[in-house]
Structure 1
Amino acid sequence: MQLFVGSVICVLLSLSFPGIVSKLENNITQCGDFFFQGKAPVFPDILNDSITQNDSYEIICQTYKNKSRFATLYNTTNKIPVFSAYKYTGTYQTTNRLGQMGQLWMTESQLEPSGAEMSEPFVKQARNQDYWIKKNVYTCTPGALFPISHAADNETAESTLTLTNSVPLKDDFREGLWSLVENTTKEDMDINCRDNNNNIVAYVLTGAIAGNNKMNNRVNIPTLVWTAFCCFNKETLYSRGFWAENKPEKKTEIKLKSLKVVQEYLKKKFGKPVELFSNNCSVNASQLKPILNESQCHNKCHPLLQYVTEFIHYILNDIILQGISNMLVSTE
C-alpha cells in the first residue's frame, strides 16, 4: 500500500507540470541538426556510429511543442544523461524565473514501462520526488546539461527543464563554478563562433561522469561534469571545453581548455579514447565547405586556396610589369 501511495504521489507530481513529448530513436543523429558535420560523438562501449552499444542507454530526441530542441543520450541504470547535444545560436533576454529551487521539472513518459499490469513508475528515470519531497542529504538540485542560459528562445528554454536533461549537482557548485563555466562558454561562443554571414553557430556537447553515490538510493550523483563546443570561425574551425568536479569551489574566472586537453582527460576517465566532434574539429577543405554557398565561395573557401590565388596574381603582375619594362628599354 505504501508503494502504491508513493507511486500515485509521483504520478500526480509529474502531471502537475507539462510533460515533454519526446521520441526515442535508434540513431541519435535522427534527432536533428545538433551534431557538427552531422556526426555523433564516439564513446566506446556506449555510443558508436550514432547507435547505443547496450540496453542501459536510451537516445531521446527532446521534443517540445512539436519541435525537436536537442538530443540526449540517457543512462537508465544511473538515471542521469551521459550527455546532451544542442546547437547554440545565441540567446534571448528572458524575464522568466525558470529552473528555480522547488520547481517541478518535466519527465519523459516514453521511458516508462508499458503494459496492462500496474508497475512502479519512474523505473528508468529520475523524478521530482528524488530531489524535493524529502530533503536529500547530499543537498543536490537538478543541473541542466543544456542550460537555460544557452537557449535561443523562451520555448527552447522551457524544454531544457526536464530531468532527462539534468544531473544532481551540489547546490554551491551549480550556482557557483558551473554557472561561471556556462557564462564563460557563452561569451566565448558569442565572440568566436561566427559563420560567413556573422551569425552565431556552435555545436555543443555537455555531459557528466557517474560517481559512486546515489541520491534517494536511486539517482547517481556524478563526480564531474564536462562541456565542449566546435564551430566555424569565418574561414577556420574553433573549439574549446572545460570540466569540473561536482563540488563547491570558489573562482571568479576560468580559462577554457583546448578540445585536445578535454578529450585526453575524458579518455582517462572512460578508459578508452573518445571523439567528441567529427575529425576532432580540425581544419580540412571538406569541413569548410558549409561555411559559404557556392555563389559566395570564389577564392575564399579555403585559406590555402586564397593564398595560392593571390600568389599567382602576384607572379602574373610581376611578369606583365617586367614585360612592359623590357619594351621601354628596347624602345629607348
Structure 2
Amino acid sequence: MLGLLLLQVLASCLWLGHSEVVTSFGSCHGFFSDRIPPNNALNPQNPAWICQHFNNSYHYATLYDRDRRIPVYSAYKYEPGPGNRSKLWYAEPQVGVSPYSKDIDTEKSIRNRYKITLQQIGQSQAINQDYNNLQGLDRGHLSPSGHQSGNNSKWATFTLTNIVPQNSALNKGQWNIYQSKTMPQHTKDCTTTYVITGAVPGNTYISNNRVNVPSHIWSAACCQTNTIRRTWAVIAENNRNQVQNLTRSQLEGNLTQLYGRGQVSLFHSACPP
C-alpha cells in the first residue's frame, strides 16, 4: 500500500514538472492574437507545448514535435530592437522525461546540473551534434532573433526547439528578405503584430533519421493598427529560394492540404482572412 502511494506521488510530481510544456500554452497565451493559439489541426502525435523561458521571462511560444525533433511552429510578438545574437545554442530541459527547470540552458549545463547524458537530452529533441556537417542546410529560426528586442529575447531564440533544417539559399536569400525588409514594411502602422511561423514535416531527415527536414516553411501575421486589423502570410518550399505571398485564408487552405489533419485555423476570427 505504501509503495502504491509513493508511485502515485511520484507520478503527480512528474506531471507537475511537465506542466509548462505538455498541457497547453497557459503561461504564454499572450503571444497569440486574442490569446487563442492555432487549432488542433497542426498538432503532431507527440507534442510539447513550450512557453520559451529564459532569465525569468517568457519570450515566445513553441509547439514542438518530439518524434520529428523539430518545432511545428513558434508564435511571438514582432518587436524588433537592439541587442546581440547569442554565441551559444540552448536545449530545453522540459522536453525530457524528468521535471527539470523551465529555463532553456546549454547542453553542458543541463548534463552537469541533472547528471544525465547527452543521449538522454536528445531523446525527444534535437541536440547540437544533429546539426553538425550540414550540407546545403542551415539552422533556420522560426522565431528569429531579428524580430526580438534586447539580449535576453534574442538569445532565447537560439534554442534548438526553435530551429529547423532550412535550405541555405532560402534562409540567406528570399526568406531573409521577407524577415528583414518585407516585415518592417508591412508593420509600419501596426501597434501590435502577432506572428506564427511554422514548418511542414518533409520526407527526409538528417543525423541518422533523427531530425526531420521540413518540406515547407510558412509564416502568418495579424496586425492591429489604431483603426483596423489586417493579416498577411507567406510560404516557401524548403528546396527553393522563393517565397510566395498569400492571404491568411490561402495559407490556411494550403496548410490544410499539406498537413492532412483537418481544416487549419491560425488566428482568432477577429483577424481578417
Pair in the same fold by TM > 0.5: yes
> Which residue number in structure 1 is paired with residue 38 of structure 2?
41
Letter in 2 for 1:269: L
> Which residue number in structure 1 is paired with residue 206 of structure 2?
215
Letter in 1 for 2:235: W
TM-score (norm 1): 0.66
CA distance in 1 between counterparts of 2:139 and 2:115 reads 31
Residue 114 of structure 1: how far off its partner (Å): 3.5
Residue 83 of structure 1: how far off its partner (Å): 0.3
> Which residue number in structure 1 is paired with residue 53 of structure 2?
63
Residue 177 of structure 1: how far off its partner (Å): 1.7
> Which residue number in structure 1 is paired with residue 81 of structure 2?
92
| Residue-by-residue CA offset, 1:132-165 (whole Å, 9 max, x unaligned) | 2xx23x4322111000110122210111000001
Letter in 1 for 2:90: M
> Which residue number in structure 1 is paired with residue 250 of structure 2?
261
Tell me if structure 1 keeps the 8 A contact 2:204–2:212: yes
Do residues 163 (structure 1) and 153 (structure 2) align? no
| Residue-by-residue CA offset, 1:72-126 (whole Å, 9 max, x unaligned) | 000000000000010113x1134x3x26xxx541111122234999773211011
> Which residue number in structure 2 is paired with residue 237 of structure 1?
229
Cα distance change of structure 1 residues 29 and 156 upon mapping to structure 2, 3 Å threshold: same
Letter in 2 for 1:260: S
Letter in 1 for 2:152: E
Query: Which of 195, 204, 207 is the equivalent residue of 1:204?
Result: 195
Residue 178 of structure 1: how far off its partner (Å): 1.3
The secondary structure found in structure 2 opposite 1:30 is coil
Residue 247 of structure 1: how far off its partner (Å): 1.9
Residue 268 of structure 1: how far off its partner (Å): 1.4
Residue 205 of structure 1: how far off its partner (Å): 0.2
CA distance in 2 between counterparts of 1:123 and 1:112 reads 7
Tell me if structure 1 keeps the 8 A contact 2:29–2:37: no
Residue 185 of structure 1: how far off its partner (Å): 4.2
Residue 223 of structure 1: how far off its partner (Å): 0.7
| Residue-by-residue CA offset, 1:290-312 (whole Å, 9 max, x unaligned) | xxxxxxxxxxxxxxxxxxxxxxx
> Which residue number in structure 1 is paired with residue 138 of structure 2?
141
CA distance in 1 between counterparts of 2:249 and 2:38 reads 14
The secondary structure found in structure 2 opposite 1:33 is helix
TM-score (norm 2): 0.79
| Residue-by-residue CA offset, 1:226-255 (whole Å, 9 max, x unaligned) | 000112122211100100011242x6xx67
CA distance in 1 between counterparts of 2:29 and 2:96 reads 23
Unaligned runs of at least 5 residues, structure 2: 1-18, 100-113
Tell me if structure 2 keeps the 8 A contact 1:227–1:242: yes
Q: Which moved more, 1:147-156 or 1:66-75?
A: 147-156
> Which residue number in structure 1 is paired with residue 125 of structure 2?
125
Q: Looking at CA atoms only, which structure, 1 or 2, has the larger radius of gyration?
A: 1
Residue 273 of structure 1: how far off its partner (Å): 1.0
Query: Which of 179, 183, 192 is the equivalent residue of 2:180?
Result: 183
> Which residue number in structure 2 is paired with residue 150 of structure 1?
147
Cα distance change of structure 1 residues 236 and 117 upon mapping to structure 2, 3 Å threshold: closer
Tell me if structure 1 keeps the 8 A contact 2:235–2:244: no
User: Post-superposition, which runs of at least 4 consecutive aligned residues in structure 1 deviate over 6 A?
Assistant: 115-119
> Which residue number in structure 2 is paired with residue 109 of structure 1?
93
> Which residue number in structure 1 is paired with residue 9 of structure 2?
none
Query: Which of 216, 240, 243 is the equivalent residue of 1:224?
Result: 216
CA distance in 2 between counterparts of 1:80 and 1:43 reads 17
> Which residue number in structure 2 is paired with residue 270 of structure 1?
259
CA distance in 1 between counterparts of 2:162 and 2:177 reads 19
Tell me if structure 2 keeps the 8 A contact 1:139–1:171: yes
CA distance in 2 between counterparts of 1:45 and 1:228 reads 14
CA distance in 2 between counterparts of 1:143 and 1:257 reads 21
Identity, % of aligned positions: 31
The secondary structure found in structure 2 opposite 1:28 is coil
Cα distance change of structure 1 residues 71 and 166 upon mapping to structure 2, 3 Å threshold: same
Tell me if structure 2 keeps the 8 A contact 1:25–1:31: no
